[in-house]
Amino acid sequence: MRRFLPIAILLCWMAAAVAVPPTGIEYPPLQYTLPKPERIVLPNGIVLYLLEDHDLPLVDVEVRLRGGRLYEPADRAGLSAVFVRAWRNGGTLTRSPDALNTAIEDMAAILDISDDGDTLGISLSLLARDWRRGLELLADLLRNPAFREEQVRLAKGQVTEQIRRRNDEIAGIASREFAGFVYGTNHPLGRVPTLQTVQSITRQHLLDWHRRLVTPRNIWIAVTGDFDRRAVLEELRRLFGGWKGGSPALPVIPAPKEQPAATGFIAKQADQAHLRIGHLGVAYGVPERAALDVLNYILGGSFTSRLTHEIRDKRGLAYAVWSSIAPANPRGLFSIGCQTKSESAEEVIQLIREQVRRLTEEPPSEEELQQAKESLVNSFVFRFPTASDAVSAQMLLEIHGLPRDTYDTYIARVQVVTAQDVLAAARKYIHPDRLRVLVVGDGKKLARLAGQAQRLQAR
Amino acid sequence: MRTRSIVLAVICLCAIAHAQTNFAERVVEHRLSNGLRVLILPRRQSPTVAFYILHRVGGVDEESGRTGVTHMLEHMLFKGTTTIGTRDYEREKPIWDEIERLRDQLEAERARGDAADRERIAQLQQREQELLQQVSQWLIPQEYDRIFERAGSPGTNAWTSNDVTVYTVSIPANRLELAAWMQADQRSHPVWRQFYQERDVVLEERRQSVNDSPEGALWEAFMATAFLVHPYRNPVIGWQDDVARLRTADIDRFFRTYYAPNNTWLAVVGDVDPQQTIALVEKYFGSIPAQPLPQARIPAEPPQRGIRRVVVKMPANPQMLMGFHKPNAPHEDDVVFSVIQGILTRGRTSRLYRELVEKRKIALSVSAYSVPGDRYPNLFVIDAVPRYPHTPQELEQAIWHELNRLRTQSVTEAELKRMRTWAEADILRALRSNEGMAEQLLWADAVLGDWRELFRSVERVRRVTAQDILRVAKKYLHKDNCTVAVLEPAPEAK
């Protein structure tokens, strides 16, 4: 594999010179329309997104709720991780875990519950012929989960094992501890579960958590695929229409505090140093989002970025170098990541610092700007690989309180970005004087760096 | 009511069969006179195209001492051509030639190890830096990627396996011709510029994915133990010292030998017109000359005679792998293994999940798969992660218990039926993306010999009986045919 693809980069693919496509090729105009689901609100507050798509005899269902580890209490960190496992595996009031799993897998269906930070998602992939049975099982698990004691114990045990293993891979340490280093280890986005907090979780906590979150006013359901709209809508009304419930009770998440520039060091036996550099980033829905996408493309969000050019191509110092300005609730991270052999760590940190500073000192060149904008605009057709991805993304806009036409206007918003807009966004959101640098690597080989840094421990 | 549901079921089964046939019938195949094989699957879901190229060359084709050359070549193909990435190739070329001569001396000096003349090395490096500085005025950095990204490609990539090398381009449908021209140019006039920087990049890739990765390190030791002779034993990225000694002449020779059009497959899946696509491929790839392919001289792996064990110690929690030699597809036993894999580890109703993860709670996870390729007999692997305080040894015992059951008692009809349903669903889910489909068509045609194998998988699975599973389990899933690799925790070096 030639290219390292960090999962952190969601949006962003960048930078500068004359392209020489062969002469004489003409490109016909591209017709693309974002798949548009129908939106229906049930009287109890459940929001439905429906889109028929008859390409293949498959149906995808996604239920989404506000919730997730962001909202769990500090003394029970890990609650949400245990919750989604015990929910998925714990069966329902009338179906044992085994009966539920057999019913699902006999249809070759895939049912998962995931904690996505500030939301929870239940996804169900079905063969089209099974949609009715699938929806019924999903509704049962959603409304009547049993959280059987045996499965709660299993979930706690598995999350505990993951905690024991979380320092095995150096990349895992770097990502997790960088969040702690920027957000603070007490902020929900920076703290981590411990053996003790997970141990303290009981079945009752999970039942209470379910009662707090899973209420019609906190539920969005997307159905995409090969079905008849009328029949599915009728069935959804039957399954969910009579469900009553109040508003979800989610705590308000405090804004993380800005921190001054610092360098932290965590010792881990390794050939490479793992570097993370950055500071607090942006919330969802900042007006400069398109300019930030352009900026990130130029910095390190693409394979033609400044960072890739300076660190990988010109000097061969790394396989992986990237940047991200992804939004999060309540604040995202501005982060740059790189892995390089220990001997090159200081040089790479210096190169990264220079590139960050450059962003705030001068606008990008016209060539870089055009490269980034054309790339973002022309690649928009790939943003949602399937119809169900497009539906889920539009549903998520509503959950995050963003304008529902965000994707419809995206291309136009990128097209108007100027070099001065990019510079202004950089000056507003990128702070070379506040960079927090985390180095994870070999204490001996990196002795000089470690000596000047704050010593931290991997939690 | 009863009748109605039966009729419905029949209709639904037809829908799946129909979808498969529908796709299978839409595949257009074509062979250029230079031997290049083209597979086209038009689908109008979105105005996008996956334009994938496979060369039937992988780690298995490397000679000893030059492991990693296939993967290195894959990296180098992105460094541009005589027209892409350069302002003036004629001015650039003599400088690269001089760097190459300098490297002859530099690498020879370094090869002397402790006896090397450090001052001389420093001088040569200094001179190389000057030359790199000089050549940079003629370069247009990352131009290959710039063109593709600007055209809307969400990032071009490639991967190398033990069997094949695959280049993956996705592009808006209106840029199909650009993709054809770029990929043909990439194969007609490549330039090995910045080779030694890229070699360092690959060495970093190796540090990251093997040296510092418990999983990667265990994998390397496992494969090298399970295979004593066959080159499936070698890591695709190459052994460290082999990679560190690769030269441009190595990749050049490899490129000329194996990237011949008669060793190349092309899949175009998406919003395209097949006849137009064939015309474009003819136009840009048609002039690349065919050439004789070398006779593969790959030694067969001798039968294993007794269990093999390997231990890797790293500062990490334990993991384990168990591997069994088995025939590769399309051998009839291979599909039986795909059913065994499902029965053992697929989903929450599978035997090993139920037993190890849920009931006895000794494993965090367990999975199974066939690796590392399909061109030669391969391995059936069971991959398990123990839960503290349980050990890999306890896991191994529990797994043997389940394998013994498989050898002595018939699996149930319910299990077989579930596997048949999974097989139907798998092919439909694979059809969801242009990219997934392109990859599968290439793999089936280049490795299994016919892209239609893809659509035959459902039928093959349907034919597997409980008797087949007993027979195959008895034949292969026993101790004398097994390799066990265990990652044992070691303290952090201080």
Task: Tokens for A128, please give them.
Answer: 């089209």
Question: Mean of the pLDDT values across residues B120-137?
Answer: 97
In this prediction, residue B24 has a pLDDT band, given cuts at 50, 70 and 90, of confident
In this prediction, residue A92 has a pLDDT band, given cuts at 50, 70 and 90, of very high
Check CB contact under 8 Å for B316 and A108: no
User: Which residue in chain A is spatially nearest to B436 when comparing CA positions?
Assistant: A385
Residue B114 is assigned to a structural domain of this protein = yes
Residues B115 and B241 in one domain: no
A63 contacts A220 by C-beta, under 8 angstroms? yes
Tens digit of each residue's pLDDT (9 = 90 or more) over B382-407: 999 999 999 999 999 999 999 999 99
How many domains are there within chain B?
3
A377 touches chain B (CB under 8 A): yes
Q: Is the pLDDT of residue A20 over 70?
A: no
Check CB contact under 8 Å for B428 and A271: no
Residue B21 is assigned to a structural domain of this protein = no
Strands (E), B353-472: 363-371, 378-386
A390 contacts A34 by C-beta, under 8 angstroms? yes
- Asked if this assembly's ipTM is beyond 0.90, the reply is yes
Q: Is the pLDDT of residue B324 over 60?
A: yes
DSSP code of residue B6: H
Selecting from B145, B208, B347 the residue whose C-beta is nearest the C-beta of A303 gives B145
Q: Is the pLDDT of residue B180 over 70?
A: yes
Considering chain A, what is the average pLDDT of its residues?
A: 94
In this prediction, residue B493 has a pLDDT band, given cuts at 50, 70 and 90, of confident
Residues B434 and B454 in one domain: yes
B202 interaction partners in chain A (CB closer than 8 Å): 319
C-alpha Rg value of chain A to the nearest Å: 24
Check CB contact under 8 Å for B349 and A17: no
pLDDT at A166: 97
Question: Mean of the pLDDT values across residues B120-132?
Answer: 97
Question: Mean of the pLDDT values across residues A170-176?
Answer: 96
Residues B377 and B423 in one domain: yes
Q: How many CB atoms neighbour CB B287 within 10 A?
A: 12
User: What amino acid occupies position A378?
Assistant: N
Selecting from B204, B357, B361 the residue whose C-beta is nearest the C-beta of A318 gives B204
**What is the C-alpha separation between B228 and B234, in angstroms, rounded?**
10
B105 contacts B122 by C-beta, under 8 angstroms? no
Q: Which helix (H) or strand (E) holds A46?
A: none
Check CB contact under 8 Å for A318 and B201: yes
| Per-window interface: B 349-378 vs A, CB < 8 A | 349, 357-358, 361, 364
Question: Mean of the pLDDT values across residues B126-144?
Answer: 96
Roughly how many angstroms between the first and final C-alpha of chain A, as a whole number?
31
Check CB contact under 8 Å for B155 and A17: no
Tens digit of each residue's pLDDT (9 = 90 or more) over B7-20: 434 444 566 777 77
B472 contacts B333 by C-beta, under 8 angstroms? yes
Q: Is the pLDDT of residue A18 over 70?
A: no
pLDDT at A10: 28
Q: Is the pLDDT of residue A28 over 90?
A: no
B186 touches chain A (CB under 8 A): no
Residue B22 is assigned to a structural domain of this protein = no
Last residue of a domain, one of B139, B164, B183: B139
Q: Is the pLDDT of residue A218 over 60?
A: yes
Selecting from A22, A104, A371 the residue whose C-beta is nearest the C-beta of B150 gives A371
Residues B158 and B122 in one domain: no
Residue B186 φ then ψ, to 5°: -55, -30
Residue intervals of chain A classified under CATH 3.30.830.10 are 38-240, 262-455
**What is the C-alpha separation between A148 and A88, in angstroms, rounded?**
11
In this prediction, residue A21 has a pLDDT band, given cuts at 50, 70 and 90, of low
Residue range(s) defining the domain that contains residue B235 = 28-79+152-285
User: Which residue in chain B is spatially nearest to A102 when comparing CA positions?
Assistant: B349
Q: What share of chain A has pLDDT > 70, as a percent?
A: 95
Helix (H, G, I), strand (E, B) or coil at B81: strand
A80 contacts A191 by C-beta, under 8 angstroms? no
Check CB contact under 8 Å for A108 and B425: yes
Task: Tokens for B83, please give them.
Answer: 């027209």
Check CB contact under 8 Å for A102 and B8: no
Instruction: Tell which wins on pLDDT, A298 or A9.
Output: A298
List the alpha helices (DSSP H) in B227-285. Answer: 240-244, 248-258, 274-285
| Per-window interface: A 337-366 vs B, CB < 8 A | 339-341
| Per-window interface: B 256-295 vs A, CB < 8 A | none
Residues B421 and B326 in one domain: yes
pLDDT at B241: 96
Residues B384 and B364 in one domain: yes
Check CB contact under 8 Å for B424 and A127: yes
Q: Which residues on adjacent β-strands are paired with residue B28? A: B40
**What is the C-alpha separation between A340 and B201, in angstroms, rounded?**
9
Q: Which helix (H) or strand (E) holds B40?
A: strand B37-42
Selecting from B152, B178, B424 the residue whose C-beta is nearest the C-beta of A108 gives B424
Among A216, A223, A217, CA closest to A391: A223
Among A159, A143, A142, CA closest to A151: A159
A165 touches chain B (CB under 8 A): yes
B473 contacts B400 by C-beta, under 8 angstroms? no
Task: Tokens for A402, please give them.
Answer: 């963003």
**What is the C-alpha separation between A187 and A328, in angstroms, rounded?**
14
DSSP code of residue B207: I
**What is the C-alpha separation between A133 and B314, in angstroms, rounded?**
48
In this prediction, residue A180 has a pLDDT band, given cuts at 50, 70 and 90, of very high
Selecting from B151, B211, B428 the residue whose C-beta is nearest the C-beta of A57 gives B428
pLDDT at B17: 73
**What is the C-alpha separation between A240 and A218, in angstroms, rounded?**
13
Selecting from A18, A30, A127 the residue whose C-beta is nearest the C-beta of B140 gives A18
**What is the C-alpha separation between A395 and B125, in angstroms, rounded?**
57
Residues B99 and B182 in one domain: no
Residues B474 and B339 in one domain: yes
- How far A258 CA sits from the closest chain B CA (Å)? 32
Residues B481 and B348 in one domain: yes
DSSP code of residue B88: -
pLDDT at B44: 86
Helix (H, G, I), strand (E, B) or coil at A77: coil
Among A436, A430, A435, CA closest to A454: A436
Tens digit of each residue's pLDDT (9 = 90 or more) over B84-100: 999 999 999 999 999 99
In this prediction, residue B156 has a pLDDT band, given cuts at 50, 70 and 90, of confident
In this prediction, residue A32 has a pLDDT band, given cuts at 50, 70 and 90, of confident
Selecting from A2, A128, A270 the residue whose C-beta is nearest the C-beta of B212 gives A270
pLDDT at A161: 98
Residue B67 is assigned to a structural domain of this protein = yes
Residue B2 is assigned to a structural domain of this protein = no
A131 contacts A227 by C-beta, under 8 angstroms? yes
A370 interaction partners in chain B (CB closer than 8 Å): 150
CATH topology of domain A38-240: Cytochrome Bc1 Complex; Chain A, domain 1 (3.30.830)
Q: How would you classify the pairing of strands A110-115 and A119-127?
A: antiparallel
Q: Is the pLDDT of residue A263 over 60?
A: yes
Residues B281 and B326 in one domain: no
Among A248, A291, A246, CA closest to A423: A291
B144 interaction partners in chain A (CB closer than 8 Å): none
Q: Which residues on adjacent β-strands are paired with residue A337? A: A276, A322
- How far B303 CA sits from the closest chain A CA (Å)? 32
Check CB contact under 8 Å for B428 and A58: yes
Strands (E), B372-429: 378-386
Residues B122 and B183 in one domain: no
Residue B291 is assigned to a structural domain of this protein = no
B425 contacts A108 by C-beta, under 8 angstroms? yes
Task: Tokens for A452, please give them.
Answer: 């000047």
Q: Which residues on adjacent β-strands are paired with residue A326? A: none
Domain of B448, CATH number, reads 3.30.830.10
A24 touches chain B (CB under 8 A): no
Residue B462 is assigned to a structural domain of this protein = yes
A385 interaction partners in chain B (CB closer than 8 Å): 432-433
Residue B181 is assigned to a structural domain of this protein = yes
- Interface test with chain A among B20, B144, B201, by most A beta carbons within 10 Å: B201
Task: Tokens for B29, please give them.
Answer: 């195949």
| Nearest-5° Cα angle at B384, B382 to B389 | 150
pLDDT at A383: 94
**What is the C-alpha separation between A289 and A12, in angstroms, rounded?**
11
**What is the C-alpha separation between A353 and A275, in angstroms, rounded?**
12
Q: Which residues on adjacent β-strands are paired with residue B268? A: B40, B51
DSSP code of residue B77: G
Residues B98 and B73 in one domain: no
Contacts of B302 (CB under 8 A, 6+ apart): B228, B229
Q: Is the pLDDT of residue A350 over 80?
A: yes
CATH of A262-455, one of 3.40.50.720, 1.10.10.10, 3.90.1150.30, 3.30.830.10: 3.30.830.10
- How far A179 CA sits from the closest chain B CA (Å)? 21
